[in-house]
Copies of this chain bind each other. A is one copy, B any other.
Amino acid sequence: MNILEKITQSRAAFSKSEKKVADIILANPQSAIHSSIATLARMSDVSEPTVNRFCRRLDTKGFPDFKLHLAQSLANGTPYVNRHVDESDGPEEYTTKIFESTMASLEVARQSVDIQVVNRVVDLLTQAQKISFFGLGASASVAHDALNKFFRFNVPVVYFEDILMQRMSCMNSSEGDVVVLISHTGRTKSLVEIAQIARMNDAIVVGITSKDSPLANECTYVLSLEVPEDTDMYMPMASRIAQLTLIDVLATGFTLRRGNKFRENLKRVKDTLRGSRYEKRNE
C-alpha cells in the first residue's frame, strides 16, 4: 500500500516531532529518499532517533526500509487516479484528468477480467459459424468497432444499430452462432430481450457487461468489467474504453488461436488498403 497516503492518513496519530518529519517528507518526498537519517533529522529539526521512530510507526523495519517503501510509492510518478473533472478546471487540467482517469479505469478493468472466461470466449469465437455484435447508445460504437476487427478475419460478422434488425437477426440465429452483447449497465431492456431471443434460438450469448446485471443473468458467458463509476459528466467514458480494450483482447486471442498462416492472411488484408492511401515518404 502506498506509504505516502499512509503518512497523510495517520498524521493525526503522530506526535508533535513526528508531524514535523511527516511534513518535511510530504513536502519533498523525492529528496527524502536521497537523504540520510541525519540530514532528514536536521531538516525536520528533530533528533535522529525520532526519525527512526517515525519510520517504525509506519510499520517499516527502520529508516532504510522506509526509504525503500517511499521509493516504491514514488516509482510510477503518480499512480493514475480517477479524479473527477471540476467546473473550474482549465484545458490543461481536464485533459490530464480524463487521460489519467481512463488509464486508472483500464488498470481496474484489467484486474477484474476473468482470464478463464476470456479464453473460453475466444474458443467459442474461433469456432463460431456467425458472430454478431450488438450494443445500444454508447456501446453501439463499441460493437461497431468489433465489427471492424472481426471483419478482417474473414468470418461472418454481423452488426446492427437498429433494435429491430438486432431482434430479427437473433431470431434467425442457430446453433454455432455467437452473439456478443455489449452494455455497461446491463440494464437496457431491449438488449436483455435480445439475449433471451438469441438463447431461445440456440445461439451462445456472450455479455460484455457488469456483473449480476439483468443482462448478465441472461448470458451464457459473461465478461464482466468492473469499471469505476464514470465521471460526473453524465456520459459513459471509461467503461467504453475498457470494453474496446477487451474487444482488442478477444481479437488478439482469436488471431493467436488461428495460428501463423492466418496472420499472414491478415497482413494481406492490410496491404490491400495501401492503394487507398498516400505512400509514406521515406524519412
Let me know if A144 is at the binding interface, CB within 8 A: yes
Contact A244 B241 (CB under 8 A): yes
Give the contacting residue for A145; candidates B77, B141, B187, B253; CB below 8 A.
B141
In the complex, are the beta carbons of A248 and B237 less than 8 A apart? Answer: yes
Copy number of this protein in the oligomer? 2
In the complex, chain B residues whose CB is within 8 Å of the CB of A85: 252, 256
A251 vs chain B, min Cβ distance (A):
7
Partner of A91, one of B68, B122, B241: B122
In the complex, A52 has a CB within 8 A of chain B: no
Interface string of A66-98 (1 = CB under 8 A from B): 011101111111110000010101011011101
Q: Does A214 contact B (CB under 8 A)?
A: yes
Q: Contact check, A234 vs B269: say whether CB atoms are below 8 A apart.
A: yes
Of B96, B187, B269, which contacts A278 at CB under 8 A? B187
A115 interface residue per 8 A CB criterion: yes
Identify A94's interface contact among B77, B187, B256, B267, CB under 8 A.
B256
Judged by a CB distance under 8 angstroms, whether A31 is at the interface is no
Q: Which residues in window 183-199 of A have CB below 8 A to B?
A: 185, 187-190, 192
A76–B267 Cα distance when bound, in Å, is: 36
CB distance from A135 to the nearest CB of B (A): 11
- Closest-by-CB residue of B relative to A255 is B233
A222 at the interface (CB under 8 A from B): no
8 Å CB contact of A103 from B107, B263, B279: B107
A266, CB-defined interface residue at 8 Å: yes
**Residues of A that sit less than 8 Å from B by CB:** 33-34, 64-65, 67-69, 71-79, 85, 87, 89, 91-92, 94-96, 98-100, 102-103, 106-107, 109-110, 113, 115, 118-119, 122, 137-138, 140-142, 144-145, 148-149, 152, 185, 187-190, 192, 214, 231, 233-235, 237, 240-241, 244-245, 248-249, 251-253, 255-256, 260, 263, 266-267, 269-270, 273, 276-280
